[in-house]
Structure 1
Amino acid sequence: MPENKKSKIRMYSRKGVKVAIPNFKEEVSISSMFEIFITDKSIEGISNRTLHDYHVHFEYLMKFLGENITNIKMTKEMFKNYLSFMLHEQCLSPVTVNVRIRTIRAFLRYCFLHGYIEEPIHEYFKPVRTKEDTLESFTPQEIKRLLSVVEENSYKGFRDKVIIYVLLDTLVRCAELINIKRTNIDLKAGFITLESLNTKTKKGRTVPISTKTIKLLKEYIQITEEYKTDFLFLTYEGEPLSDNTVRKNLTEIGEKAGVNKRVSPHTFRHTGALFYVLNGGDPFSLQKILGHSDMSMVRKYIQMTNTDVKKQHNIFSPLNTVFK
């Protein structure tokens, strides 16, 4: 058992604000702390997908540790070694490593702020630097190729066509897409309401839809009316689509079209954001549509190729104002 450390409350500075940290607790296993952490996260209402990621990444950590250690044995050196192990022995990419680090850091931060560990290990267990690559997006020609191989005469094909239009037009995430309900759609006004429970930020938002998408949605809603269900996108049997099914179907469409890029909901989100700006849309309305709280992520989404920049420059060159 550790020596008694209840003599005084610890103070910790978070973003310049001092926070009181509870007294150091008794010895407890890392798995027990993780279960308490997960229970609290569940109460907060985070998505099932995020909870799943927490469990998966914790299992990776446990395999590295090799035993169910206690809070007394948890040190920053141990987690630095785990970082080195992922990078240099498992040879994982920095992007993959960072995904795992972020979830474990959230757990470590929780342990520290709730008095389970003495040291703010999360401050030393930080994401590694990665190269600033341009996010992959489709060209207009590639989108036309994807749509051309969709067999829209079948229910599945027509549904997948509608999904592609909605993804590209509204820039919604896959988890948001599959949770859209029929009552969330206002075809007359041209909006889809995304409920706060199903968004990544847990904030509801309304996204506009264009005339082409409205037309397809109207037809699709009529076709699926007989299923008598709240959800919009359904299987042939009338069950709500899962995100895995959406991803799998898009991958198959990409392979059939011969598009040598990752054909996923997120690629459509990147593409839609880029096209929005290239078509003259402002970044502030784009930020609201994407559902981002700050502009930094918007900047990542609208990275342009040199060709894109050249086209925009030809249209908006300052010299055009001088020599009209």
Structure 2
Amino acid sequence: MSWESTIKGFKAYLRLERSASPNTLEAYLRDVEKLRQYAETIGSKKPTELLKSDLKNFLIWINELGVLPSSQARIISGIKSFFKFMMLEEMITIDPASLIETPKLSKKLPDVLSVEEIDKLIGGIDLSSPEGMRNKALLEVLYSCGLRVSELVNLKMSNLFLDVEFIKIIGKGNKERLVPIGGEAIRYLMIYKEEIRKSVEVSKGAEDFLFLNRRGSPLSRVMIFIIIKDLAAKAGLKKTISPHTFRHSFATHLVEGGADLRAVQDMLGHESITTTEIYTHLDRNYLKQVITQYHPRS
């Protein structure tokens, strides 16, 4: 089969059978497109003609292009799914990607803000403007609930259950989870909803989105980055700060405060507890405290 028809089938498989999110769908199709580009350099091989040796050489090729190990790992994941799809559709009888190894990745500890630094950053917001009140509300929610930036911009009015102090989040792979929301976040969210958002002329199709720009459209991920970067500069914070920094800080502060790791995993929407365990390594004082408390010779 041709690349065009195979990729079309793969796209339908990801969307219908795997229920892949738009971001995952886009990433996997981009990965397969890289493989197609490589196949054109080795005699325009069709996807069903590629061998394990071709895939190994493909990995060498993307490495020489300067693709980082973390990106290589994601590309391999996309390629493995592509060949799994071809196996399911009986286009091939042997999966050449089954034994391809993912590069070993070192866990980079993310930057984390202290509670004081978060207070300083959020405290620098000018509350005299509508945008300032909106930004106050969205950052309180971001930190209170430990959301991904995509989850924040896609948060819906219909998924707020503030009377019972919960919000419903649609996370990776369209998986739903209920996340508790704190009193400070609820307070500023109510002010934003009742005093700011009601005065915005909402664009068609954005009626249920919570956070809107001045044109009545949903805020973009890029806009959240810009808001946070500007506030960090204003607060004089030298750390590398992004929306994800708030998520890391949320998890770290919970773990340092003694929260159960499984509970933190559920709130973050992590599929594996291994992903959550990184937060037990972020603070040397936390480690020292654990050793002092539990080691028999402390």
How does the TM-score come out when normalised to structure 1? Answer: 0.80
1:287 match: secondary structure: helix
Which of the residues 222, 231, 240 maps onto 1:253?
231
Larger Rg: 1
Q: Distance in 1 between matches of 2:239 and 2:36?
A: 34
One-letter code aligned to 2:159: N
| Aligned-pair CA distance for 1:313 | 4.8
Hey, which of these two has a bigger chunk of helix by percent? Answer: 2
Q: After superposition, what is the alpha-carbon deviation per residue over 1:46-99, rounded to whole angstroms, capped at 9, x for unaligned?
A: 222222212322333333333653134211111111212222x12332112112
Q: Distance in 2 between matches of 1:245 and 1:236?
A: 12
One-letter code aligned to 2:188: L
| Aligned-pair CA distance for 1:318 | 6.2
Q: Distance in 2 between matches of 1:34 and 1:184?
A: 35
Q: Paired residue for 2:87?
A: 112
Which of the residues 231, 255, 266 maps onto 2:244?
266
Q: Paired residue for 2:283?
A: 305
Q: Which aligned pairs between 1:88-107 and structure 2 lie closer than 5 A?
A: 89-107=64-82
Pairing 1:208–2:180 present: yes
Q: Paired residue for 2:216?
A: 238
Which of the residues 18, 26, 39 maps onto 1:52?
26
Contact 2:20 2:173 in 1 (8 A): no
| Aligned-pair CA distance for 1:207 | 0.6
Contact 2:165 2:180 in 1 (8 A): yes
Say how many residue pairs are matched.
Answer: 289
Contact 1:135 1:301 in 2 (8 A): no
Moved more, 305-314 or 99-108: 305-314
Contact 2:167 2:180 in 1 (8 A): yes
Q: Paired residue for 1:84?
A: 60
Q: Distance in 1 between matches of 2:15 and 2:25?
A: 8
Q: RMSD in angstroms over aligned alpha carbons? A: 2.5
Q: Distance in 2 between matches of 1:199 and 1:73?
A: 37
Pairing 1:138–2:113 present: yes
Question: In percent, how many aligned pairs have the same letter?
Answer: 27
Q: After TM superposition, which residue ranges in structure 1, 4 or more long, deviate above 6 angstroms?
A: none
> Which stretches in structure 1 are left out of the alignment for 5+ residues?
1-27
> Which stretches in structure 2 are left out of the alignment for 5+ residues?
none
Q: Paired residue for 1:276?
A: 254
Contact 1:273 1:302 in 2 (8 A): no
1:273 match: secondary structure: helix
Pairing 1:224–2:197 present: yes
2:211 match: secondary structure: coil
Q: Distance in 1 between matches of 2:10 and 2:93?
A: 17
Structure 1 residues 99, 151: CA separation in 2 closer, same or farther (over 3 Å shift)?
Answer: farther
Q: Distance in 1 between matches of 2:13 and 2:176?
A: 22
Q: Distance in 1 between matches of 2:243 and 2:176?
A: 20
Structure 1 residues 93, 210: CA separation in 2 closer, same or farther (over 3 Å shift)?
Answer: same
Moved more, 292-301 or 29-38: 292-301
Q: After superposition, what is the alpha-carbon deviation per residue over 1:242-286, rounded to whole angstroms, capped at 9, x for unaligned?
A: 223223332333344443444223222121111111112111221
Q: Distance in 1 between matches of 2:239 and 2:55?
A: 35
Q: Paired residue for 1:151?
A: 126
Contact 1:172 1:290 in 2 (8 A): yes
One-letter code aligned to 1:147: I
2:164 match: secondary structure: coil
Contact 2:162 2:186 in 1 (8 A): yes
Q: After superposition, what is the alpha-carbon deviation per residue over 1:122-145, rounded to whole angstroms, capped at 9, x for unaligned?
A: 212332001233233223343234
Moved more, 74-83 or 138-147: 138-147
One-letter code aligned to 2:32: F
Structure 1 residues 63, 298: CA separation in 2 closer, same or farther (over 3 Å shift)?
Answer: same
How does the TM-score come out when normalised to structure 2? Answer: 0.86
Structure 1 residues 232, 306: CA separation in 2 closer, same or farther (over 3 Å shift)?
Answer: same
| Aligned-pair CA distance for 1:188 | 2.1
One-letter code aligned to 2:33: E
Structure 1 residues 178, 302: CA separation in 2 closer, same or farther (over 3 Å shift)?
Answer: farther
Structure 1 residues 51, 142: CA separation in 2 closer, same or farther (over 3 Å shift)?
Answer: same
